[in-house]
Amino acid sequence: MGVLERRRISWWAGTPWLVGTPWWAAIAVAAGCAVGPDYHKPQAELPPAWHSDASWHEAAPDDGGLKGDWWRLFRDDTLNPLVERALSGNQDLRVAAARLDQARAQVTVVGSDLYPSVSLSAAAGRGKSSANRPLAEYSVANQSIVQNNFEVGPTVNYEVDLFGRVRRELEGARASAQQAEADFENTRLILTAQLVTDYFALRELDAEIAVVRRSLELQRDALGFIASRHDLGFATGLDLAQQQALVDASATQLELLDYQRAQYEHAIATLVGTPAPSFAIPAALSTSSLPAIPVGLPSDLLQRRPDVASAERSMAAANARIGVARAAYYPSIELGSSFGEPNAGWQSTALATLFEAPSRLWSLGLSATQTLFDAGKTRANVRIANADYSAAVATYRQTVLTAMEEVENGITGLASLDRAVTWADSSVKSAQDAFDIATVRYKGGVDTYLEMITAQQVLLSNQRQAVQVHGQQFATAVYLVKALGGGWSENSNRVSRSN
């Protein structure tokens, strides 16, 4: 037995306030305490503000614009029903909901140990005793007896949670249930963010496909014009071959874009819980608008993000497990009957007299069990619980650091993309003017075909770049909303979900 075990036993046996105190009073006083450390949320290092040159405004974490159905801020009538279908049909979300139901039911299971367990037992038997059994008295001979035995009565057992083991288990179960609730909200946030991101990527491809298709039509018109000039001897075979190569390259790009779009469409089908072959989203140019996203202070992340809440609740559960492990140092005390016998009831050799007063019986006992030697098992379990808590604290702080990194990336990303969109739109306008001038000059015989085809390639490249930058704006906006925690609120007591 280790020193610590000996100290625990001597404390139990020789504590001054226990000496001369009735056992029921000692239990009542000690039951107000629970072994193990009380949980205190550790501090996480947070900066006072975000580092950004953009003119972001601060917002309270309960800002109404970012709560609930945050995807509606983008004002896209095709997107909204897709998200609703995902919330009702996504299988990963159903798994998270089932895990939440399990965790909540586990609280009830663990909490039931705080109360007595009551069962009703009944038995009926008929037996014959041996006449040659050992004598109870040497002066009295044994006789063989055949008789009935009827018993009925309740059995009540209760573990006195003197040192708080059950209370620590209940504390941990409640923290785990809250963690499961945060995990459900995190799954919901990841699902909606992934769906919205894929949808905007699909719409960006729709816009890019429209640009390439329109460019391909112009290139084919130009091919016909150059072929006519070639037949008249005004264009060379090189001009014709170059234009044909440009048409073929654009057609190839169009096929690749169609393939990429199909992949996003299939991904969205899986997210909404629909088989990919039976799902389709008609091609259309996006009508979404980019919302203004309130950022708030860095400390708001501790209230907004469900993954941060999950990590914090994991710490609380790990802290409670320390108390459960330390409770093994102390005796376990139980009130009730032994060997499953009824605490009270009736016993008789005949059913007719079973419920008469002489047939009544009762018993009440108290048992205490103290581990004297376990080869260091209890100490090892306490070390395991302490290490588990240390790991949970590190995970929590790392989650907070990751959250701040993601928000900072979103803020700086949107600021940079806002400037990039201005330059991209300007480059498209300049390239369009250059292409128009080059086309007129080539048709008028002033410039060679090289100038026109170069201008055409620059225009297509700039148009696709502008479409891609606009698409990145929406993707980064969704990324920032997700980094800020979406519509989750730490103060919400119930989880709204569709099963």
339 assigned to some structural domain: no
Compute the average pLDDT of residues 335-352. 71
Specify whether the backbone of 482 is left (phi greater than 0), alpha (psi in -120 to 50) or beta. Answer: alpha
Compute the average pLDDT of residues 246-266. 93
Contact 92, 304 (CB under 8 A): no
Compute the average pLDDT of residues 173-183. 92
Strand partners, 401: none
User: Do 44 and 15 fall into the same domain?
Assistant: no
d(CA 105, CA 177): 9
In degrees to the nearest 10, what's the CA dihedral of 447, 450, 451, 455? Answer: 150
pLDDT on residue 349: 83
User: Do 311 and 277 fall into the same domain?
Assistant: yes
Name the band, by pLDDT with cuts 50, 70 and 90, for residue 204.
very high
pLDDT on residue 49: 59
Among 56-70, 343-357, 430-444, which stretch is predicted with the lowest mean pLDDT?
56-70
User: Do 23 and 41 fall into the same domain?
Assistant: no
For the chain, what is the HEC assignment? CCHHHHHHHHHHHHCHHHCCCCHHHHHHHHCCCCCCCCCCCCCCCCCCCCCCCCCCCCCCCCCHHHCCCHHHHHCCCCHHHHHHHHHHHCHHHHHHHHHHHHHHHHHHHHHHHHCCEEEEEEEEEEEECCCCCCCCCCCCCCCCCEEEEEEEEEEEEEEECCCCHHHHHHHHHHHHHHHHHHHHHHHHHHHHHHHHHHHHHHHHHHHHHHHHHHHHHHHHHHHHHHHHHHHHCCCCHHHHHHHHHHHHHHHHHHHHHHHHHHHHHHHHHHHCCCCHHHCCCCCCCCCCCCCCCCCCCHHHHHHHCHHHHHHHHHHHHHHHHHHHHHHHHCCEEEEECCCCCCCEEEEECCHHHCCCHHHEEECCEEEEECCCCCCCHHHHHHHHHHHHHHHHHHHHHHHHHHHHHHHHHHHHHHHHHHHHHHHHHHHHHHHHHHHHHHHHHHHCCCCCHHHHHHHHHHHHHHHHHHHHHHHHHHHHHHHHHHHCCCCCCCCCCCCCCCC
- Closest by alpha carbon to 185, among 309, 19, 13? 309
CA 227 distance to own-chain centroid = 62
Contact 385, 322 (CB under 8 A): yes
pLDDT on residue 316: 92
User: Do 188 and 248 fall into the same domain?
Assistant: yes
363 assigned to some structural domain: no
Among 42-46, 170-174, 392-396, which stretch is predicted with the lowest mean pLDDT?
42-46
Domain range spanning residue 15? 1-30
Name the band, by pLDDT with cuts 50, 70 and 90, for residue 342.
low
Burial of residue 499 (CB within 10 Å: 0-12, 13-18, 19+) is: exposed
User: Do 299 and 220 fall into the same domain?
Assistant: yes
d(CA 157, CA 164): 18
Compute the average pLDDT of residues 395-424. 89
Residue 336 has pLDDT above 60, yes or no: yes
> Residue 241 belongs to a domain with what CATH number?
1.20.1600.10
191 assigned to some structural domain: yes
- Take residue 421 and report the two structure tokens written for it: 């969109």
447-487, pLDDT tens digit by residue?
A: 777 788 888 888 888 989 999 999 999 999 999 888 888 76
User: Do 443 and 423 fall into the same domain?
Assistant: yes
Side chain identity, residue 11: W
Considering 27-31, 218-222, 290-294, the range whose residues carry the highest mean pLDDT is: 218-222
157 assigned to some structural domain: no
15-71, pLDDT tens digit by residue?
A: 443 444 444 444 444 455 677 788 777 776 666 555 554 444 443 334 334 456 889
pLDDT on residue 45: 66
pLDDT on residue 424: 92
- Take residue 216 and report the two structure tokens written for it: 């391909």
User: Do 191 and 207 fall into the same domain?
Assistant: yes
User: Do 88 and 67 fall into the same domain?
Assistant: yes
Strand partners, 120: 154
User: Do 104 and 10 fall into the same domain?
Assistant: no
Residue 218 has pLDDT above 80, yes or no: yes
Residue 340 has pLDDT above 80, yes or no: no
In degrees to the nearest 10, what's the CA dihedral of 290, 294, 300, 304? Answer: -40
Contact 103, 179 (CB under 8 A): yes
User: Do 3 and 103 fall into the same domain?
Assistant: no
Residue 135 has pLDDT above 60, yes or no: yes
Percent of the chain scoring above 70 in pLDDT = 82
Mean of pLDDT over the chain: 81
pLDDT on residue 292: 78
The pTM score is 0.78
Compute the average pLDDT of residues 260-282. 94
338 assigned to some structural domain: no
pLDDT on residue 456: 83
User: Do 177 and 198 fall into the same domain?
Assistant: yes
Strand partners, 365: 336
Residue 495 has pLDDT above 70, yes or no: no
- Closest by alpha carbon to 61, among 496, 494, 493, 486? 486
Name the band, by pLDDT with cuts 50, 70 and 90, for residue 5.
very low
52 assigned to some structural domain: yes
Domains in the chain: how many in total?
2
6 assigned to some structural domain: yes
d(CA 231, CA 247): 19
337 assigned to some structural domain: no
Among 23-27, 202-206, 254-258, 330-334, which stretch is predicted with the lowest mean pLDDT?
23-27
User: Do 45 and 97 fall into the same domain?
Assistant: yes
Distances (CA, A) of 264 to 116, 273, 456: 57, 14, 29
Query: What is the widest separation between alpha-carbon atoms in the chain?
Result: 143
Compute the average pLDDT of residues 81-87. 94
Backbone angles phi and psi of 34, in degrees to 5? -135, 135
